[in-house]
Amino acid sequence: MNLSLTFAACVCSMAVFAVQGSRNEKSYFDCKVYFDEEERPTEKANCVYDYQEKLHYCKTWECEVPSCPREEQVDQEGEPCPLCPDTCTTGGKIYNVGETVTCVDGSNICGCVGTGKAFSTYAGTNKYMLCGAPHNSE
């Protein structure tokens, strides 16, 4: 009887540490956690919504500095990060034409096919993949 109470207390304390911080400043591995959609970032971020927990998990980034001079840099409409000719950007990182990388969401593959032109596979993602968390596959 005493052993089962100890196990239950242990499970409860593990759940408390999964998302840490005050209500307005919570984190989960590489992500910040938001209760309200209005609070979550809309630029330089990728977010997923957990419908069971009713929480937004967002991974933010800063733009890498392009290696070419400013006068050669290309600004992309709808993209916050400038880049050099023959490169693409995803999650703030710059890649050369012909390269394929894991997208910032952690589950898709992104490829650079021309200046600012990229493709992506279209698989769903979740908070574990986006935030770099270990996932229990039970």
Tokens 């840490």 found at: 20
Cβ burial of 98 (10 Å; 0-12, 13-18, 19+) is: exposed
CA dist 13 and 8 (Å) reads: 9
Q: Where are the domains of the chain?
A: 70-120
Residue range 1-41, pLDDT digits in tens: 333 333 333 333 333 335 666 566 799 999 999 999 999 99
Q: Is 49 helix (H, G, I), strand (E, B) or coil?
A: strand
One-letter identity of residue 10: C
pLDDT on residue 21: 62
**Nearest alpha carbon to residue 68 among 44, 99, 94:** 94
What is the rounded average pLDDT for all residues in the chain?
A: 83
Rounded average pLDDT over 90-111: 93
